[in-house]
Structure 1
C-alpha cells in the first residue's frame, strides 16, 4: 500500500472577483454586434460574437447584506465564494434541467452586460441564447418577455447548445449552408441529450433526453462513499465528489466483465485510487524521561492515597453493616420475651411492617456482608494473613456494668471485632479456593506432562466447544432480528404463552388479571430466552473460560498461535473485503482519513449506459441511440453513425468513445463504418459555434424581432435547423414565421 500513489484533495483557491472585460465597448457601440449567451446550468458564458473566447462564471447569484456598511449586495459567480455568509443564500436560474428562477436569470444577465461594458439604457444588440433540448414553451415565453421588456433587445434567437457544438466542429465553407449529417450526444449538468442531425438540421422530433447528468453522477458517487465510509472523520462535500468524478472515474468497455475480474483481491487492489483528506496529527507529549518518571510516581502516589481512602471507606461501611446486622439479630432474639402486641409495636417502632419484612432485611444484610468480606479478603492480599488477632475485652460485657465511656468503647470494640471476623472468614474462603485451584493445576500439569498431544487435543476441543456455543448465541441474536425466522417466531410464541399464562390453572389465580410471571423458576429461563438484549452471565463465563484455555494453549502448544484465537478468527475479514476497504491500525490518523476508490470508479459512469443501477427508470445511451436509429433506413443510418460527436464537460471522462463503439457495433451491419469523436473543446465549443453562426447572413432570418414579439407575444417562434422547433428534416428552411 505504501508504493501506491496517494492523491491529496486539492485546497480550493482563494475566491476572487473576476476583473471586467478589457475590450472597450466603443468598438461595438452602434455596430449591432450579436451577443452570444450560453445559459448553462453550471456555467454562464457570454460575449460578443467577434470574441475568440467567452467570458464565463458560475451561474449562481446571492443577495447578501454587508455587515460593515449595512448595505444589501447582489453577488454573482465567483463573488459568491468571497463572502462566506452568501454561499448559503446562493440561487441558480435552473431547477434541475428546467429554467424556473427568472429573478436569478435577470441578475446573471445584468452582471454579464455590465462586465461587457454596456453603458446604455437598452441592449442594442441581437441576442443568440441557448435553451435546453425539449424545453417547455412557457420557459421560452418568460425568457423572451425578460429580454424584450427589460433589455429591449432588437431580436432574440434560441438554439440548442449541443447542435451548435456540432456545427462548430463541422463548419461549412464560407457562405455555404450547413448540410452535415451525424449524431450529437450532449452531456449536460442535469441531463444527457441525443440529437440526430440530417442535412444540417437537428431532428428534435427524434431527439431523446436522459434524466442523468454530471450533477446526479457526483451525488451518486458521494452516496457510495458515504455508504462505504459511514464513520469517515471528515465531511465529504459535493464539490470534492465532483473532483473525484472528473479525475478518477472511467467508463469501461464491458462493465460486467470488469467487475468479474475484481473477484481477485490483487486485481481489485491494483485498480484503486487512494485519496488523502486533511487530518490533524495528535500532539505528542515531548517531556523528558525524568519528567515522565516524576509524573508517573506522582500518579502512583495519588493512586495509593485513593486506595487507602477507599479501603477505609469500605471498612467503615462493613463495620456499620456488622453492627446493623447484630442489632437486628438482637431484635429477632427478643421475640420470645415479648407479647404479640408488644412485639408488633416494637417492629413498627423499628420501621418494619411485620416479621417477614424483618427476615428479608436480615437475609439481605447477610448476603451483603458475605460479598463485602470476600471482596475485602481479595483486596487485602497476603498482608491480611499476617494480621495478629486483637483483643476485645469489653465486647461481651453487659451494658448495665459499664458507664457512658465504657459503652462507647464497647461499641468501638464490637465494630473492630466484626471487621476482624469478616476478614478472617474471607481469608479462609480464599485459602480454600486457592488450594482447590492448586490441586486442579497440579492435576492438569501431570496430565500435560504424561501426554502433551492428548492434552492439546483436549484443550482445542474445549476451545471449539466454547466458540461454537458463543457463535450459536450470536446466530440466534441475528436470527431474532428477522421477524420471519424460526427463532423470532418461537420467541413470539413464548411471549404469547406468557401473556395467556396457561401454566397456572384459573382456579388458583387470586384475581382476574393478576401477573403470575415469576412464580416458577422456569419463567426466568424463558425470560432469558426471549430477552436477547439482556446480558447473559453464561456468555461472560464462556468468554472468560475461553480466554483461559487459549492462554494455556499459547503457552504450552507450539502449533497454536494468535491466528487460532477466537479474537483473531472473529475479527478476520476476507481478502476481497479487505481489498475493497482496507483497515488501518488504531491510531493511524492519516490512514483513517483516506478514501479508497475501486469499483466506484466504473460504477458511477456506468449509470449513463444503465441508469437503473442508480434507481433511475430510464433507458441508457446505447438503448436510446438504438431506438433513434431504428427510425431511419440503412442509407440514412450510415450517414448518422459515421459522424457521432460527444460534447459537454462530462464527455472528457476516459473510455466513453470506446464504450460507445462497442455498444453500437453489434446493432449495425458489419460493413457499416462507425465514426465517433469528441468535440475539440467540449466545454466552450457550443458558444463558439453560436458565435460563428451569428456572423452569417442566415442569422438575421431566424430570430424573433421586437416588433414580432409585440405583435404575437412571447410564444412566437421561428423554425430553424439549430433550435428546438425546426419541423421535419425533409423540409427546407424558407424563413417563414410559424406559430407554435
Structure 2
C-alpha cells in the first residue's frame, strides 16, 4: 500500500554531535585570511587555507533552562532540540537586511571559538559576505563590530553570488579574472540577477525580487493549511522547508502542466504523500462477561432515561393543560366586565387585545395536540382493556382537582392514540390497495409502468433543481429573481389593505389575512423550507425505491442522493478522503499541484500575493540594458547558484523563459554551481589567497579615520555606496 501511494515519511531529527574547537597552532602568528559567509540560513566560516568550512544554522537562542534554572546560550542545530530554545530563537537577519547585531555578535563568538582563536584580538584579515544593495547603516554597524569588538586588521565585503561565479569560472592561469556571465542567485529572502562583464559585477544594472526560500516555504505552508484546515498534527515552517527542498520542482510550462493534471489518473500519479507521526488508538479487548455486563448496564440506564423522559412529558402536558384551562376561563369572562376593566385585565395578563388572547389559546391548543400526537406515535402496544378514569364522573372538588385533570389528560391521550391507530389502519389499507393496483399495472405493462415512474422522477427532480437554482440566484443581488424579491418586499411595505392614516397611527398589520400572502412570504424568504420540497423529497425516495427494485435499467448512480452528493474524480484525486477512524490516513498530506505551484511563484509572484515582477521579467529587463553583442556574451554563461537552484526543472524553466526573448542565433547556456551551498565560501577563499586581496579591504586605520561607511570599490563588492574609495 505504501508503494502504491508513494508514501514518504518525514525525517526524524537527530541530536547534533558537539565538536570541540579546532587547533589554532597552524595559524598562530600568521595573517591567514578569515572567510565568513554570513547567510540568512547558514553561517559558514573558516580560514582561507581550509578545504571545507564550518557550517551551521545561523540562529541563536538565549533562554533559561528549567532544571538548572540557568541562562543558556545555544547556537546552530541545538536550538531545534529544545522547545524553550525554539521559542527564543533569533536570527541576525530580518528578511534581507542585517538588523540583529546582538545575534550576529553571538554567532561570531561561536565561530571564533570553534576556530580555536584564543587571543585577545582576531589578528586575521576578514572577507565577509553582504547582500546585494545592503543598507549603508547595516554595513557601518557590522564594520564597527568587527573593528571595535574583535580588532581585525582589515575587513572587506563581497556579494556571495559573485564569489560563487568566480569559483566556478576561475582563470586557468594567473591571468586576471575576465569571465562574462549572468548570475542568478536564489537566496533565503530574495532572488537577484547580476550581470558580470569582463570579470566585474555591473551592480548598477542588477535587479532583485523579494521572493526567496523563506517566502516559498511560508507559501507552501499556507497552501497546506487551506487544503487541510483540520489537520490533527501541527505543520511547521521546518516541515515545509524540507518539503520544498525534497518534493517541489519547476515546470517548463506551468499552464500546460495544469491542463495535463486535469486527468485524475495523472494527478494521482504525480502526487507525493507525506505521512506525519501518529499514535494508533489502543484497543482493549473485553471478555464476554464484561460485554454482557456493559450491555445490561446500558439497558438499565436506557430504561431509567425513558421513564424520566416519560414522567417529564406528562408533567409538561399537565402544565400546558392547566395553562390552556386558565386562558379558556379568562376568555369566558370576556362579557362579564366592562370594556375598560376587561382591557386592563388583558394587559395585566400580557395581552394587547382579544385577538392576541385568541391567538395564544389557539397556539397552546395546537401545541397540546402535537404533544399528544408524539405520545401516540410511540411503539406502545395497544392495551388489552380500556383503562378507567373514575374521577371524571365526580363533581369538581379542591382536593382532587389536580388528579382529576391528570386523568382527563390521560383519557384524552388514550382516545387520541385510539384514533391514530384507526387512522393508521385506514392508511395501511389504502396503501395496500394502491400497491395491489400498481403491482397489477406492472405485471400487465412493465414498460409503461417504468416510463410513468421515470417521468414522475424527472418531473420531481426538475422541481427540486428549480428551487435550488432559485436559492442560488437569490444570493446574487443583480439577478432577476433577487430583484423580483425586492419588489415583493416593497409591495408588502406599501400594503393598500390598511389605510395610510391607520398605518401611521400604528394600525393592525393585515399581512397574513390572505392565503396568497404566505405564497409571497415563501418567495421572499430564502431560508424558509417549503413543505412542497419535503413532500417532493419523500415522494422521490419512494419512486426511486420502486425503480431500483423492479427496473434493471435504473441504477444507484441515477438517484437524487447519488447525484447531489457525488464529488468529482479530480477533487477526490486532489485530496483523497479517509474514514473518520483511520488515524494513519488522516495524518497524511497529499502534495500534487502544490509541488509546482510554489516554485512557479518565482516567475509569477502575484499568484502568492506579492506585488513584484517575476524572475523572467527581471531577466528581460536586465538584458534589455545591454547591446546585442554584450547580451550574447552574457547568455552564453547564465549561472545559477543558491540552494533553490538545485530544485529539479529550474534549468528547463529558465531556458523556456529566456529563449523567446533572444535572437534565434544567440547561444544560450545555463549552468548550475558545482556546489551551490559552499561555492560562495570557496570562491572567497580562492580570492583571499591571491595578491589582489589586500587591496580590497579597509584597514583599521582607515576605519578609525573615515568610519564604518568606508569601503573600497572592487569587482566583487557592492558599488552603490555613497562613500567609496
Q: 1:480 aligns with which of 451, 474, 477?
A: 474
Q: 2:370 maps to which residue?
A: 371
Q: 1:248 maps to which residue?
A: 247
| Distance (whole Å) between structure 2 residues aligned to residue 265 and residue 428 of structure 1 | 57
DSSP-derived class of the 2:626 partner: coil
Kept after mapping to 2: 8 A contact 1:59/1:76: yes
Kept after mapping to 2: 8 A contact 1:144/1:714: yes
| Distance (whole Å) between structure 2 residues aligned to residue 408 and residue 483 of structure 1 | 58
Structure 1 residue 62: Cα displacement: 2.5
Q: 2:392 maps to which residue?
A: 395
Q: 1:631 maps to which residue?
A: 625
Bigger Cα displacement from structure 2, 524-533 vs 594-603: 524-533
| Distance (whole Å) between structure 1 residues aligned to residue 400 and residue 508 of structure 2 | 55
Pairs within 5 Å for 1:157-556: 157-173=156-172, 175-284=174-283, 286-289=285-288, 291-315=290-314, 318=317, 363-381=362-380, 383-384=381-382, 386-392=383-389, 395-398=392-395, 414=408, 417-501=411-495, 504-509=498-503, 511-512=505-506, 517-518=511-512, 520-556=514-550
Q: 1:130 maps to which residue?
A: 129
Bigger Cα displacement from structure 2, 37-46 vs 247-256: 247-256
| Distance (whole Å) between structure 2 residues aligned to residue 295 and residue 240 of structure 1 | 45
Structure 1 residue 364: Cα displacement: 4.3
Q: Does 1:739 align with 2:724?
A: yes
Structure 1 residue 410: Cα displacement: 6.5
Deviations 1:646-691 (A, max 9, x none): 1111111011123323333344344443332211111011001111
| Distance (whole Å) between structure 2 residues aligned to residue 300 and residue 534 of structure 1 | 40
Structure 1 residue 700: Cα displacement: 0.7
| Distance (whole Å) between structure 2 residues aligned to residue 42 and residue 89 of structure 1 | 17
Structure 1 residue 26: Cα displacement: 2.5
| Distance (whole Å) between structure 1 residues aligned to residue 490 and residue 401 of structure 2 | 62
Task: Decide whether aligned partners of structure 1 residues 81 and 433 sit closer, same or farther in structure 2, where only a CA change above 3 A counts.
Answer: same
| Distance (whole Å) between structure 2 residues aligned to residue 134 and residue 175 of structure 1 | 30
Kept after mapping to 1: 8 A contact 2:133/2:718: yes
Q: Does 1:699 align with 2:696?
A: no
Deviations 1:665-720 (A, max 9, x none): 34434444333221111101100111111111111111010111111122212111
Q: 1:91 maps to which residue?
A: 90
Q: 2:113 maps to which residue?
A: 114
Q: 1:734 maps to which residue?
A: none
Deviations 1:191-239 (A, max 9, x none): 1122222222112122222222111222222222223333333332212
Q: 1:35 maps to which residue?
A: 34
Q: 2:564 maps to which residue?
A: 570
Kept after mapping to 2: 8 A contact 1:320/1:415: no
Structure 1 residue 250: Cα displacement: 1.4
| Distance (whole Å) between structure 2 residues aligned to residue 580 and residue 215 of structure 1 | 25
| Distance (whole Å) between structure 2 residues aligned to residue 578 and residue 684 of structure 1 | 43
DSSP-derived class of the 2:249 partner: coil
DSSP-derived class of the 2:203 partner: coil
Deviations 1:99-138 (A, max 9, x none): 2222222222122122222222222111100011122222
Q: 2:649 maps to which residue?
A: 655
- TM-score normalised by the chain length of structure 2: 0.89
| Distance (whole Å) between structure 1 residues aligned to residue 191 and residue 343 of structure 2 | 93
| RMSD (CA atoms) | 3.5
Gaps of 5+ in 2: none
Structure 1 residue 634: Cα displacement: 4.2
Q: 1:731 maps to which residue?
A: none
Task: Decide whether aligned partners of structure 1 residues 201 and 430 sit closer, same or farther in structure 2, where only a CA change above 3 A counts.
Answer: same
Kept after mapping to 1: 8 A contact 2:10/2:274: no
Q: 2:148 maps to which residue?
A: 149
Structure 1 residue 290: Cα displacement: 5.4
DSSP-derived class of the 1:244 partner: helix
Q: Does 1:674 align with 2:671?
A: no
DSSP-derived class of the 2:488 partner: helix
DSSP-derived class of the 1:205 partner: helix
| Distance (whole Å) between structure 2 residues aligned to residue 10 and residue 312 of structure 1 | 58
Deviations 1:153-201 (A, max 9, x none): 1100001101111111122246432222222221111111222222221
Kept after mapping to 1: 8 A contact 2:632/2:667: yes
| Distance (whole Å) between structure 2 residues aligned to residue 142 and residue 260 of structure 1 | 52
Structure 1 residue 305: Cα displacement: 4.2
Kept after mapping to 2: 8 A contact 1:219/1:241: yes
Q: Does 1:6 align with 2:6?
A: yes
Kept after mapping to 1: 8 A contact 2:709/2:723: no
Task: Decide whether aligned partners of structure 1 residues 114 and 340 sit closer, same or farther in structure 2, where only a CA change above 3 A counts.
Answer: same
Bigger Cα displacement from structure 2, 179-188 vs 82-91: 82-91
| Distance (whole Å) between structure 1 residues aligned to residue 43 and residue 410 of structure 2 | 91
- TM-score normalised by the chain length of structure 1: 0.88
| Distance (whole Å) between structure 1 residues aligned to residue 99 and residue 37 of structure 2 | 16
| Distance (whole Å) between structure 2 residues aligned to residue 475 and residue 272 of structure 1 | 36
Q: 2:711 aligns with which of 695, 714, 717?
A: 717
Q: Does 1:80 align with 2:65?
A: no
Structure 1 residue 724: Cα displacement: 1.2
| Distance (whole Å) between structure 2 residues aligned to residue 718 and residue 473 of structure 1 | 77
DSSP-derived class of the 2:538 partner: helix
Kept after mapping to 1: 8 A contact 2:133/2:720: no
Structure 1 residue 276: Cα displacement: 1.9
| Distance (whole Å) between structure 2 residues aligned to residue 632 and residue 352 of structure 1 | 89
Kept after mapping to 2: 8 A contact 1:373/1:425: no
Q: 1:684 maps to which residue?
A: 678
| Distance (whole Å) between structure 2 residues aligned to residue 7 and residue 392 of structure 1 | 73
Task: Decide whether aligned partners of structure 1 residues 422 and 147 sit closer, same or farther in structure 2, where only a CA change above 3 A counts.
Answer: same
DSSP-derived class of the 2:421 partner: helix
Task: Decide whether aligned partners of structure 1 residues 220 and 51 sit closer, same or farther in structure 2, where only a CA change above 3 A counts.
Answer: same
Gaps of 5+ in 1: 728-736
Bigger Cα displacement from structure 2, 300-309 vs 86-95: 300-309
Structure 1 residue 405: Cα displacement: 8.8
| Distance (whole Å) between structure 2 residues aligned to residue 707 and residue 513 of structure 1 | 96
Kept after mapping to 2: 8 A contact 1:719/1:738: no
Q: 1:732 maps to which residue?
A: none
Deviations 1:439-494 (A, max 9, x none): 33333333333322222222222322333333333323322333333333333333
Task: Decide whether aligned partners of structure 1 residues 587 and 561 sit closer, same or farther in structure 2, where only a CA change above 3 A counts.
Answer: farther
Q: 1:730 maps to which residue?
A: none
Bigger Cα displacement from structure 2, 455-464 vs 91-100: 455-464
Aligned residue pairs total 724
Deviations 1:494-542 (A, max 9, x none): 3444445455331443715876554554444433333323444443333
Q: 1:61 maps to which residue?
A: 60
Q: 2:586 maps to which residue?
A: 592
Structure 1 residue 388: Cα displacement: 1.3
Bigger Cα displacement from structure 2, 255-264 vs 643-652: 255-264
| Distance (whole Å) between structure 2 residues aligned to residue 623 and residue 352 of structure 1 | 75
| Distance (whole Å) between structure 1 residues aligned to residue 330 and residue 634 of structure 2 | 109
| Distance (whole Å) between structure 2 residues aligned to residue 77 and residue 224 of structure 1 | 29
